[in-house]
């Protein structure tokens, strides 16, 4: 049993080496210019080892993306319980905090994939992961009244604005901490757009 666990660890370690090498290459070269030989040399493995894990570089790309977004999904689910719903002006929403901490921890991956993703749909997959997280939270609620706006528009607004702010945060070299960013989004959500802008009630009618 212990040898199996050791084998699993070796598989995971090798995959992480390949992912890291691939990302480093993507940062410097266009996807079309990267070969399996390039990836193998960068990861310090032979091609047969690469092919024991992936069919080709397209398979590597898709599995790398799926692995990262699956981890993000698991993190969101762990903090999306109904008990975590009530907003607080002094504490960040657990989902916002989880999102920013995850992206901060894996910032190199997100910098590369959001700035020059060879998978043209990465950004949409990232946004959809955020959207599904908030939908799952709402689906656990026993709402006594109907939503004030259509659900699809609400989820689009939350996911697109959150994803866009996170992307800008990365491009600005994370000048604020994940906690600070999560708290500001929580406050904007609790206040609403117009109160956040400081507009008096008379100008919001």
The DSSP call for residue 25 is H
88 CB-side CA count, 13 A = 9
Average pLDDT over residues 187-194: 86
Q: Is residue 71 part of a domain?
A: yes
77 lies in the same domain as 30: no
Question: 196 to each of 53, 101, 131, how far by Cα in Å?
Answer: 49, 24, 23
| pLDDT-derived band at 2, boundaries 50, 70, 90 | very low
- Residue 85's pLDDT is 57
Q: Is residue 201 part of a domain?
A: no
87 lies in the same domain as 147: yes
| pLDDT-derived band at 186, boundaries 50, 70, 90 | very high
38 lies in the same domain as 62: no
Q: Is residue 202 part of a domain?
A: no
129 lies in the same domain as 30: no
- Residue 171's pLDDT is 94
47 lies in the same domain as 63: no
Q: Is residue 203 part of a domain?
A: no
CB atoms within 10 A of CB 162: 23
Average pLDDT over residues 75-83: 75
The string of pLDDT tens digits covering residues 80-115 is: 665 555 567 789 999 999 999 999 999 999 999 998
Quote the domain boundaries for residue 126: 58-193
Question: The domain spanning residue 30 has which CATH number?
Answer: 1.10.10.60
Number of domains in the chain: 2
155 lies in the same domain as 132: yes
Q: Is residue 198 part of a domain?
A: no
Please check the confidence at residue 144 and state whether its pLDDT lies above 80: no
Q: Is residue 5 part of a domain?
A: yes
Q: Give me 164's structure tokens.
A: 């866009």
- Residue 191's pLDDT is 82
106 lies in the same domain as 148: yes
45 lies in the same domain as 63: no
3-state secondary structure of 81: coil
The string of pLDDT tens digits covering residues 9-35 is: 888 999 999 999 999 999 998 888 999
- Residue 198's pLDDT is 81
Q: Give me 106's structure tokens.
A: 């894996």
13 lies in the same domain as 92: no
36 lies in the same domain as 112: no
64 lies in the same domain as 140: yes
32 lies in the same domain as 72: no
Out of 54, 73, 99, pick the residue that ends a domain: 54
């Amino acid at each position: 049993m212990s040898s199996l666990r050791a084998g699993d660890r070796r598989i995971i370690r090798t995959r992480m080496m390949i992912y890291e090498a691939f990302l480093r290459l993507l940062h410097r070269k266009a996807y079309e210019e990267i070969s399996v030989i390039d990836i193998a040399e960068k990861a310090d493995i032979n091609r047969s080892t690469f092919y024991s894990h992936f069919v080709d570089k397209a398979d590597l790309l898709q599995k790398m993306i799926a692995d990262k977004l699956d981890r993000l999904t698991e993190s969101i689910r762990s903090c999306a319980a109904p008990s975590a719903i009530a907003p607080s002006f002094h504490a960040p929403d657990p989902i916002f905090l989880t999102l920013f901490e995850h992206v901060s921890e894996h910032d190199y991956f997100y910098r590369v994939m959001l700035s020059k993703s060879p998978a043209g749909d990465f950004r949409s997959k990232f946004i959809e992961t955020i959207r599904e997280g908030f939908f799952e939270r709402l689906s656990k609620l026993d709402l006594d009244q109907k939503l004030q706006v259509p659900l699809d528009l609400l989820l689009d607004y939350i996911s697109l604005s959150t994803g866009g702010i996170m992307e800008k945060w990365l491009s600005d070299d994370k000048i604020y901490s994940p906690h600070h960013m999560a708290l500001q989004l929580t406050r904007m959500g609790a206040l609403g757009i117009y109160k956040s802008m400081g507009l008096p009630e008379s100008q919001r009618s």
